Structure 1
Amino acid sequence: MDNLKTQGITMPKLGLGTFRMQGDACRAAVESALSLGYRHIDTAEMYANEESIGAALAASGVPRGELHVTTKVWHENLAPDAIRRAFDASLTKLRLDHVDLYLVHWPSKGANWGAVFETLMKLKDEGRTRAIGVANFTTALLKTAVEDIKAPIACNQIEYHAMLDQSKVLAYLAAKSIPLVAYCPLAQGRIASDPVLGEIGAKHNATAAQVALKWLVDQDGVAAIPKASRRESQQANLDALKIMLDDADRKKIAALPKDRRCVNPGFAPAWD
């Protein structure tokens, strides 16, 4: 498995997303993924599954140093005291003494970004998170964090897949050597039925989803965190790493319509 190095941490390019997984099913899914060799687990305060993930991590016997664990603070908790409370609660539920990456889950219009990043940087200085970052940030918001505040942003986690153009954000991140972590990398299942991706898959004895995943992780500075609760799906995602896409494949993927955004809540920023 290839890794990305950013702000002193090493992040596997393929991780397990856990949104909408809860309870015993979530615990079983994480235990399964860890047993298959996944070492990058992504969660968030808002997913209400950190406790289940903590139980899975504890039961797995995987040494802490081999794991990359990301969690996130919800956009309603971006005042300094609220960040601290949310962070402490996340750490307790995860049964960890530190996380590898702590992200702002969504930007908030009313946030005092100077105070937000100062609080996150203190958590980093205290050794309770190894790195800090953001999710769902536009280029304008990234500029505020990176250029104005000079926060050591380790990644921007955004929706990115073969049906959504993110070239503007990608160009900014690449210029600053900041990785992009792609959530919804399979467009919430829409990828599976795409005929062009299916055709490329047939050529490689693979599925459309595997092609779309490999297309993402082949890109410099891009990681992907597909959600997969079934062991077969987790294994299929790992197997995607073995596909060797060629220039003809990439050309076909580049020509796909790129306007399918799956996640766009009312509190989302004005996208690039």
Structure 2
Amino acid sequence: MVDETLTVGDFSVPTMGLGTWELEGKQCYDAVKTALELGYRHIDTAQLYENEWAVGRAIADADVDREDVFVTTKINPMHRSAEAMRESVDASLEQLGVDAVDLLLIHWPNPLADLETTMTTMSDLQVEGKTRHIGVSNFGADRLEQAQEYAHVPIATDQVQFHPFYPQRELLQYCQQEDVALTAYSPLAQGGVLRDDLLAEIGRRYDKSPAQVAIRWAIQHRNVHAIPKSTSRDHLADNLDVFDFSLSREEHDRITRPSMLKTGLATVRGRFG
């Protein structure tokens, strides 16, 4: 396995994980099983992905002990009451075939839900042993701060879109100040980094692909770990092979190029590609 871990406060997680958004059935099963064979030890899923059962089966069938795999799932934010949230988490655990997950997130902010109820219930689920840690996803800095006020256990992470064209500077700074991890999903901008001339130029210096440079850019930030998605064995292996080089400060700064256009295109590719 690849022994690279991010530790923020009392929260420790493999620096590289596998995202499973839009993966279903056998495709999801095969991707997770292959990833575990290659050395991945963090698998990310969600109720909304409708693939928890495939993730759970792949983990069970892999030649890896359950306690060695960090499992994240997310609550559908349409579950607004404490009772509905609890029932949904029990359903997730059954689908995954586990007694508890390592990290439980609320998937999106729901303006119709009471945030205090959400965070109190998630805190209680951690105390009761249904999850080792709790966190949020797609929260801005202001809403994350509110969530911290309502939770009675630490919020471990905020999982958000994070790539060179969407560096989330305000949120990242807040996370770094507050000892909260930032989980980078879509670190390849839904494929938008693959034909980027600057990433290709820098990659040639290290014999790395543009995708590998983009992932390295992400995880080289303090408090950041990443969950790129892939189904190809070669790409899964490449995404994991990013710990044998480091970007210079000058390279890192050049790569950071906020672009609402490129971020918007990445979002469209993610939804309709």
Q: Does the alignment reach a TM-score above 0.5?
A: yes
Structure 1 pair 251/12, CA: closer, same or farther in 2 (3 Å)? same
C-alpha separation between the residues in 2 aligned to 1:69 and 1:148?
Answer: 24
Contact 2:9–2:179, Cα closer than 8 Å, also in 1: no
Report what 1:31 is aligned to.
33
1:185 and 2:187 aligned: yes
Are positions 1:67 and 2:69 aligned together?
yes
Instruction: After TM superposition, give the deviation of residue 202 of structure 1 in Å.
Output: 1.3
Maintained 8 Å contact 1:9/1:100: no
**What is the root-mean-square deviation of aligned Cα atoms in Å?**
1.5
Question: Stretches of 4+ moved more than 3 A in 1?
Answer: 6-9, 147-151
Aligned 1:4-83 pairs, distance under 5 A: 4-6=6-8, 8-83=10-85
Per-residue CA deviation, residues 212-249 of structure 1 (Å, 9 max, x unaligned), is 00011111100000001111010000112222212331
Q: Which amino acid aligns with 1:252?
A: R
SS in 2 for 1:229: coil
Mapped to 2, the partners of 1:213 and 1:182 lie a distance apart of 9
* Change over 3 Å in CA distance of 1:200–1:238 after alignment to 2: same
- 1:246 maps to a residue whose letter is S
The aligned amino acid for 1:69 is V
User: SS of the counterpart of 1:5?
Assistant: strand
Alignment partner, residue 267 of structure 1: none
Q: Structure 2 vs 1, CA of residues 152 and 2 (structure 1 numbering), >3 Å: closer, same or farther?
A: same
Partner of 1:269: none
The answer to which of 31-40 and 198-207 deviates more is 198-207
Distance in 2 between the 1:99 and 1:120 partners? Answer: 12
How far off is 1:6 after superposition? 4.2
For residues 27-46 of structure 1, what are the alpha-carbon distances to aligned partners after superposition, in whole Å with 9 as ceiling and x for unaligned?
A: 01100000000000000000
Task: Choose 176-185 or 57-66, whichever is displaced more.
Answer: 57-66
Normalising by structure 1, report the TM-score.
Answer: 0.92
1:96-135 deviations in Å (ceiling 9; x for gaps): 0110000000000011111111111111111110010000
Contact 2:17–2:40 (CA under 8 A) maintained in structure 1: yes
* Distance in 1 between residues matched to 2:181 and 2:214, nearest whole Å: 18
Q: Which residues of 2 match residues 71-150 of structure 1 at below 5 A?
A: 71-147=73-149, 149=151
3-state DSSP of counterpart to 2:105: strand
- Contact 2:115/2:150 (8 A) holds in 1: no
Q: Is the 8 A contact 2:18 2:228 kept in 1?
A: yes
Give 1:268's aligned residue: none
> Do the aligned residues in 1 keep the contact of 2:190 with 2:267 (CA within 8 Å)?
no
What is the percentage of aligned positions where both structures have the same residue?
38
CA distance in 2, matches of 1:165, 1:31: 31
**Cα distance in structure 1, aligned partners of 2:87 and 2:103:** 17
Contact conserved, 1:211 with 1:243, CA < 8 A, in 2?
Answer: no
